[in-house]
Amino acid sequence: MTDIADEAAAAGRGRRVHIPIHLRWGDLDALGHVNNTSMLKLLEEARLRAFWKGDGVEPAPETAVFDMNVLENGGARATLIARQEIEYYQPVPYGHRPLDVQLWIGRIGGSSAEVCYDVYSPDGPEPQVLYARANAVIVMVDTSSGRPTRWTAEERAAWEPFVGDPIDFRRRAQS
């Protein structure tokens, strides 16, 4: 592991949601590692699995408080991305075992939340490698007006155990 991974492991934080994400061959670029735009899609997939209840085929994590069926049927609320940032530490090679994407909440406001991610190599006998760290600020909005709307008590209660320190990106830390 890199020093950054060791710092992340030692940082004060709440629990993390571990979402296994498989790579697709099409996620690779000409250099043979995961393309930066593909990384955003992988993070989106992890976020959806962490916070949206699916069709019940796979068990949803306890953080999954949004109902995908409501969204598909024109729900009154939706999440929008306000901001995203990724810092890469090592190229992500293709592999058959899923990446270990770890998520937690860095900050939670009235209608926004900062979702933090650490993207690790697959869990296995060898030490995991930290490939990237990222965050995304999501905002809950009313779909009819497009205006922000507050998180519910249920959403806050489900996420509270997963609130931890936000990511302190290296570039910011060195400034």
What is the Cα–Cα distance from 24 to 26, expressed in whole angstroms? 5
What is the CA 55 to chain-centroid distance, rounded?
20
User: At the topology level of CATH, where does 3-163 sit?
Assistant: Thiol Ester Dehydrase; Chain A (3.10.129)
Strands (E), the chain: 17-21, 52-53, 66-67, 77-88, 99-108, 112-120, 130-142
- Computed over every residue of the chain, the mean pLDDT equals 86
Each residue's pLDDT tens digit, 165-175:
999 998 655 54
pLDDT attached to residue 1: 31
What is the Cα–Cα distance from 133 to 8, expressed in whole angstroms? 10
> For 13-78, where are the alpha helices, taking DSSP H only?
36-51, 68-72
Each residue's pLDDT tens digit, 100-141:
999 999 999 999 999 999 999 998 778 999 999 999 999 999
> How far is the CA of 156 from the CAs of 53, 63, 108, 129, in angstroms?
16, 9, 8, 31
What is the CA 162 to chain-centroid distance, rounded?
12
Task: Provide mean pLDDT across the span 14-30.
Answer: 92
Q: Of 64, 33, 70, 34, whose CA–CA distance to 49 is shortest?
A: 64
What is the Cα–Cα distance from 76 to 125, expressed in whole angstroms? 45
Task: Provide mean pLDDT across the span 132-151.
Answer: 94
72 or 152, which is more confident: 152
51: left (phi over 0), alpha (psi -120 to 50) or beta: alpha
pLDDT attached to residue 69: 63
pLDDT attached to residue 77: 87
pLDDT attached to residue 7: 43
SS (H, E, C) 30-42: CCCEECHHHHHHH
What percentage of residues in the chain have a pLDDT greater than 90?
63
Strands 99-108 vs 77-88: parallel, antiparallel or unpaired: unpaired
